[in-house]
Each structure stands twice: as C-alpha cells, then as structure tokens.
Structure 1
Amino acid sequence: MTNISQNTHNQGEIPSSGLSPLPQWGLILVEGSDAASFLQNQLTNSVLGLRRTFSPQIAESYAATRLVGYCSPKGRLLASAWITLVPVSESSDDRFALFISKDIAASIAKRLAMFVLRSKVKITDVSNQMTISGYFSASSEIAEFEINDSAIGLRLPDVFVNSQSYGRILVAQENAVPTEDHSMINTWNDLEVQSAIPRIVLATQEQFVPQMINFESVAGVDFKKGCYPGQEIVARSQYRGVIKRRLFLAHTDRAADLGLFGPGTELFHSLDPSQPAGMVVLSSPSAQDLNRLDLQVECKLEALEKGEIRLGSAQGPVLKIDALPYPLIEI
C-alpha cells in the first residue's frame, strides 16, 4: 500500500500568528423572515437552531457556525461554504452569512435566488463590498482577537501542525484594507490545506459527491435533515457503500512549477496512466518549505494500494500521501 507519512515539516517555522487578506474568499448574505427555512431546503447541513451571533462577537463551535454544501440535482457539489447566523439586531429578521470561494459567489447567489419564489428572502453577493481576511494564531491566543461592531467573524476548526494547534478566524468587514504580506497569505492557505476540510472553487464545481471529499467526516452533511437538491444520491452513496474515492492530504518535494498544480489538476496512477485517478482539491506551497507543495487530493482508493500517484501527468511529480487529521466515517 502507498506509504502514508505523518504531517510534519522540518524546514522553517510557521509564524505564531498573523492577519492575512483573503482575495480568494467571498461572502453571500441571505436574509429575511423565511431565510432559515429556505436554506434548510437547499443545503446539505441543517441551519435550523444555529445560535444568533451579534457583532462584535465571533461565531464559534457547531452551535454557531457550520460547514455546508450546495449540490446539483445529481448530488455533485456546486459549492461549499461556512455559514453563520448574524442578524443586524435582536429584533431584526434572520441574516445568514455564507463565506464561500469568491470565484463562484456570484453564480451561486444567482442560482439560489432562482428558487426564492414567494419566500420572504433576499440574497446578496457582497464579495465586492466586503473585505475578507483571515486571522490565525496559536489557539491559546486566538481568544484575544477582536473585530469591530460592523464586521462578521466566525472561527474555523483548529489545525494541528508540527505539534502546535492553530486557531483560525474568518472576518468580513467593509472598507478594510489589510496589509498584504505574502508569507501570511501563504501560511493561511497552507493551514487551510492541512485542515483537510475541502473548499469548492470554480475549477472543481460538480466534480464531487460530498463523500468523495470527506464532507460527511468533517460534519458537512446532516443525514437526518429534510430534502435538498441531490439529497437522494448523497444518501444512497452513504448507505449503499458505493464511494470508492476519498480526499487525502499529500505533498510533493519537487520545486519546479509548483504554481501549475492548482485545484482541478488531474492525478495519474503509474499502473494505469491512460486515465485520471483523481484531482487536486486545494493546494499551497508549504508555509515552512517553499520548495514543497501541500495538497488536498481526491483519489481512487484502489490507487493507494500499489504503484505511484503522479501530479498533472503520468510523468509529473510523485505524490507522497500524508495522514489525515481526523478519522473517516466508514461507508
């Protein structure tokens, strides 16, 4: 079976904390008296019972923020997002914030709006009006981070790298101009990859049933909730055990052309190079070794049993598979 290594880097150190602009992230607001029931019928995860969070509080834990997916009728993910409930005031209607990849935010907002019909719901893509930033820090320090009264903030699951746990907070605010620091941006991106929690981007839309990228294992699917687009296919995949592909962490130490292997790049297996064996979900240069590329990859399970998995082509860099930071829910 392909060697699975522990997720440790030996060169350099990850900064202990930092604030990074996130130009790849966008924001959709869904508000109105029917917003909760509307989203409940559209997303893979339940939004009912989400705890209201009022700025400058930061939403954290499953009670206040959840990973959600939005599927096509064929059960393929059109989008993933982090959702939280952030009404403007105690007396105002519900307002849900969905932190989503910016390159798909406009199209997803437009698609959701097609199904509003007579519901009292307003859907707005505010990606160009709000600046999205990411703050990361050693978990013991993360509680000290503050946002202003008009910002929206939610805490993502911690990431454990090199015996250190890093907390992460997404922040959306108007008229913010965060200082660009490429090392901070790269660190955030690498921590996101190492979390092994997928994010759908334009290049990977409609490529995956949720379980193919471990969505159910990172609490992105509620199998007890009601119907949503693609629900029957997602449920069938879960209970009939038909998933033969999974998301894994991987890396390559080849320095050349690392920037060419972004999301959507195909993987090839040495024993069957005529057809793709998987796809890159996310990738980032390592925060500790810029000659190393860290990746989330979706791959056929049988491809891990023997032979080599190569990146981009049958002659591309060899991938080394790393351990996941969470157990997979068996299907």
Structure 2
Amino acid sequence: MFRYSMSRLLQAVIVVFVMSLLLFVLIGLMPGDPVENMLEGNPSLTPDAIAQMRSLYGIDQPLYVRYGHWLSSALHGDFGYSSVYFRPVLDVLGPAVIQTAKLLLATQIISIPLAMLLGALAARKPGGGTDSLISLFAFASISLPGFWTSLILIIVFAVKLGWLPASGTPLLSGAPVSEQLVHMILPVTVLTFFHVGPLVRYVRASMIETLNSDFVRTARAKGLSEAAVVVRHALRNALIPMVTVLALGFGSLFSGALVVETIFGMLGMGKVIYDAISNIDFNLALVGLLLATIVTLLSSLLADLAYAWLDPRIVLK
C-alpha cells in the first residue's frame, strides 16, 4: 500500500509541474500585460518609465526565463504579488479559498444524503412512477448548465419575488452568520442541483444490483421489514464504491463552484480568478488556476487511495 501511495503521489507531483508550465505559457501568451493596464490609468508615463516597469515585472524576458524565476520563487513559498490588489497572492487567495470551502461543504452536506434517499427510492421499483420522476430530475440536473440555472433562480427568487438576495458579497465583510446563510441559499441550491443528479443515477444503479443479490434475498426470507432490508443491508453495501465516485466528482463540483461564484458575485475562488484574468493579473490568475488544478488532482488521488484501501487487489495489479 505504501509503495502504491508513493507512486500515485509522484505522478500527482509530475502532473502539477506540467500543469504549472502549461498555465504559465498560456497566461503569458494572453494579449496585454499589467504594465499596459497601468498605462491606461496613467497615460503620462514616459517610454523610459514603461521600459523600467517592464523590466521590474520581468515582462521583457522570454517566457522560459520568467517561468524559471517564478518556479524558483514558488518553491520557496513566494508566489508573487497581485497587480490588482497590491498584496501577496496568497493573502488574496486565502479568504477566497475559505468562502469556496464553505460553499462546497454546504453542498456536500445536502447533496450526499439527498442522493442516497432519491437513489434508494428509485431503485425499489425500477420503471415505476417514483423511479421515472426521480430519473427525470436526475437527467435535468445533468443536462441543464449551471450558469443558466443560476440566472433563472436569480430572476425568479431575487428579481421577481424578492425573497432572496442575488449577490453573495457580504460573505467576506464579517456579516452575521444568519445573513451569510441567506446569501448562500441560491448558490448552494444551484450547486446541489448540479451535483446531485450524477450521484442519484449511480446510487440507483448500485442499489438495483445490490437488491438482486443473494444476501438481500436471504434477509427478506428471514422476515425483515423492507426498510431494514433497504437501509441496513442493500444501501450500506451499495454505498461502498461511493467513496470513489464522490472523490472523483469533487473536481467537477469545484469547477462548477467557480462558475456559480462568478455569476452570484461571491468573493470566492471563482470570482477572484475571473477578476484576475479580466484585469491581466498574471500571478493571481496563475496561482488561482493552479490551485484549482491541485484540488481536482487531489480529489482524484484520494479516490485512488480510497479504492486501493477498499479493494486491496488494486494494489497488486
């Protein structure tokens, strides 16, 4: 198990290195640079001052030289400064990561039990009315884009009815917990709807297979109630592979959170990355995108390790 874990960890480190290089090159090839943004705000800058600022930011150097300097600094814990916020990149990303973590945690707390309940109900009588309704809900969750669903909820509940706020801005302003929860209702609803559909389909398929197993027939033959058969025997065994599915789906959930945060104006990772790219903030955009990549990669790594722990035969292959 240790050798398998070290192998997967080494692969993850290599992928992070390659992704950092690709992201650096792609961001470096974007039109414009921070100095041009400063020039727009102060057109009186002389050509000598502009050249000096380009040299200060290292923009006048080739991409591979700039990447070498950035990588060396990053390995020492220095990820540079944000040209938009005029603060170290980590100081800007720290609060944003916390807000995104709150959003993802709330989504997982709601979506996992909901998926278990709906999947189990749908699997009891495949092809029945309940199964058809739950399957329709799951397919809608998978098919509808997150940004469209977000806009519809904003129009209905924030604009037309006025029940809920359309923005999540107070999340970073030290607002009371009750106010933070109110501002999180719409974003969490969108993410839950986006995340629960695939889980429901997976739980349903796993439950149908488990309910046809011999040990379930034995439990029913012993006279156990249907609830005991479904919850204590079938559902418990059907959810063992769910660890892998949840870990692999976390990357997709994180990506969806970036889009939802941008639409709702929440000052999380999504909004910070969007603002960084819009304002050509190279350092902030690079580290933000790399952090999103690492989170997705980490969820995949945890899925590999969890699967190897649950099924030791994986390690022997």
Greater RCO, CA 8 A, separation 6+? 2
Q: Which structure: larger Rg?
A: 2
Greater fraction strand: 1
What TM-score do the two structures reach when normalised by structure 1?
0.23
Greater fraction helix: 2
